[in-house]
Amino acid sequence: MSEAGKEPAASASKEDWGSISKVVNAPLENVSSDASWISVIGMWLTFPYSLLQAIFAGLCGRIFVCISIGTCCIPCSEQLCSAMGSVLRGRPLYMAWTWWRYVLSGLIALIANGASRLALFQWEWRAFGSGRYWWHGEGVWCWSYEDCERILKSQQVRHSAFGCVQACVPDLFATNILIFLSNTGSSDSEWSAIRRALHELFLDPASESYQSRVRQLPAYIAKDWPNPTLEGMNDTTRLQKLVSKSVFYAMFGKWIDDADALVLTGWRTNATYFILPRLVQRFIFNLGIKKVKKLRENTVGIVQKHGLQDKFAAMNDSLGRWKRAPVVKLCDEIMYVIGFAGIGGTSAAVESCAAFLQAKIPKEASSKAIKWGQYDTSAKMVAKYKENPDNYIRETCRMDPPVTSATGVLKEVTEVTLAGKNIEMPAGVLNQYVVSMANRDPAVFSDPEVFNADRSNLTKALTWNGAAFSVEEADYPRVCPGRYLSMDIAKAIINHGLGVASGTEFVTV
């Protein structure tokens, strides 16, 4: 099949291209004292003691709040024996012990909440008094639609942080990936330059090459998955491989083989490792980091195998003062966001839809948070999907968002109330906005826990980092640049699974 669209003029010599191994093994950045190896040894030596405290804290909200921000009667507990106190003091080694028990409590609370991140967030929010803010990790979290919308419409300051903790760079995360860059409002910013180039070269839904590739997707999917059935959608590896192949095809015009697709599914299956801070990574002997480094190397290997280096050299040339050296660094950064947000997010969306279509609770969701309403059988669900696939996918993702929250920083000193205490947070403290909870704010979505694909305000959901597909979409500067592609791929796969004819309308701009 032909590859229409822009052909890159630049070519990457071996020297310009560089070594991915050197990129992922570059010196570590921003390692706080409490994540040093001395702290890790301390955590191992005191493990039973920290675990005991963590069991109580992970199961009892009041204790969890206490170890998070220090609410007990011990003088200065808020400053000296809480995770928040450690952050506000610059995370010194002498406060590392607050993290040993805190990270274990978080893990236990997650398990106690059925391994559902949304259920964990809701549990923490209630533990902190169901107010505007709560504390988790290294920052304050906000959840209301109003707050999330305000942040999403604004210029955001970003750091190398993910899940409201400092990201492990450059080994677990690539440095300078889009989600770590601030959108300052200037068209000359690093964020603008990379985002513009990514959109123009790979993700422009108005371009002819994009549209022709998306039109080919159903045929490729059909070839890969003969005799589809609804039950066949329970094979998550199959779904993840199809998503990986489809994303790669839409961007590069190459339908990769099963072995390569299996490698790329790692962007979904390694999701747990991305949220762990360096202290925990080291505590588990960097097992997660090693896996993700391998994934990054193998992903770049697939790009090289298909001879796509020139595309990245061309993109690099368009970056002006933000040009990367060597080119492979840019390839790694781009493939990182494509893998992480694109393959991971779209796989999650398709898996959620597969479960919803069978009126089953998806693996990572909480049964308490999902009610089927009038769509309590698989037959009714399938009929609803066929009526309007776009709305069906949007409502599924509103209730079970593939990306649950994102990390910015407070731009100014902010007074927050945490568990009844008024605390002045300095500017620069991490600030998580929780789209998964905003999508359930009763002030905007009535009966938020009930499935209803006929909601009139469905496109108000912030699932794609803004009110995607709505008339106000342009008001959200960081709206996901892969939103159209994710919908097109999800529909192509689900349509095939349900035996819906491939003439379905695809999302266009």
Cβ of residue 324: shortest distance to ligand HEM, in angstroms? Answer: 16
Query: Cβ closer to ligand HEM: 197 or 328?
Result: 197
Q: Which residues pair with 161 in a beta bridge?
A: 166
Residue 413 tokens read as 């000193």
Cβ of residue 473: shortest distance to ligand HEM, in angstroms? Answer: 13
Q: Which amino acid is at 315?
A: M
Query: Cβ closer to ligand HEM: 406 or 416?
Result: 406
Cβ of residue 332: shortest distance to ligand HEM, in angstroms? Answer: 14
Residue 277 tokens read as 């801070």
Q: Which residues pair with 294 in a beta bridge?
A: none
Positive or negative: CA dihedral 424, 428, 430, 436 = positive
Q: Which residues pair with 165 in a beta bridge?
A: 162
Cβ of residue 446: shortest distance to ligand HEM, in angstroms? Answer: 22
Angle at CA of residue 267, ends 167 and 396, nearest 5°: 100
Query: Cβ closer to ligand HEM: 98 or 407?
Result: 407
Q: Which residues pair with 423 in a beta bridge?
A: 416
Query: Cβ closer to ligand HEM: 119 or 152?
Result: 152
Cβ of residue 250: shortest distance to ligand HEM, in angstroms? Answer: 7
Report the distance separating Cα 22 and Cα 84, nearest Å: 35
Cβ of residue 186: shortest distance to ligand HEM, in angstroms? Answer: 14
Q: Tokens 């109330």 belong to which residue? A: 417
Query: Cβ closer to ligand HEM: 70 or 402?
Result: 402
CA distance to 11, 53, 317, per residue, from 209 (Å): 21, 57, 21
Report the distance separating Cα 449 and Cα 465, nearest Å: 20
Query: Cβ closer to ligand HEM: 161 or 370?
Result: 161
Cβ of residue 442: shortest distance to ligand HEM, in angstroms? Answer: 21
Query: Cβ closer to ligand HEM: 71 or 431?
Result: 431
Cβ of residue 342: shortest distance to ligand HEM, in angstroms? Answer: 3
Q: Are 430 and 161 in contact (CB under 8 A)?
A: yes
Cβ of residue 10: shortest distance to ligand HEM, in angstroms? Answer: 21
239: number of Cβ within 10 Å: 27
Query: Cβ closer to ligand HEM: 100 or 464?
Result: 464
Query: Cβ closer to ligand HEM: 62 or 363?
Result: 363
Residue 375 tokens read as 């769509």
Report which residue's Cβ sits closest to ligand HEM: 482
Report the distance separating Cα 351 and Cα 233, nearest Å: 8
Residue among 73, 127, 147 at smallest CA distance from 406 = 147
Cβ of residue 204: shortest distance to ligand HEM, in angstroms? Answer: 12
- For 223, residues 6+ apart whose C-beta sits below 8 A from its C-beta are none
- Residues of this chain that interact with ligand HEM (CB under 6 A) are 178-179, 195, 203, 247, 337-338, 341-342, 345-346, 349, 397, 402-403, 406, 463-465, 478, 480-482, 485-486
Report the distance separating Cα 259 and Cα 256, nearest Å: 8
Stretch (H or E) spanning 134: strand 133-136
Residue among 411, 396, 371, 368 at smallest CA distance from 151 = 411
Query: Cβ closer to ligand HEM: 97 or 202?
Result: 202
Positive or negative: CA dihedral 468, 440, 274, 358 = negative
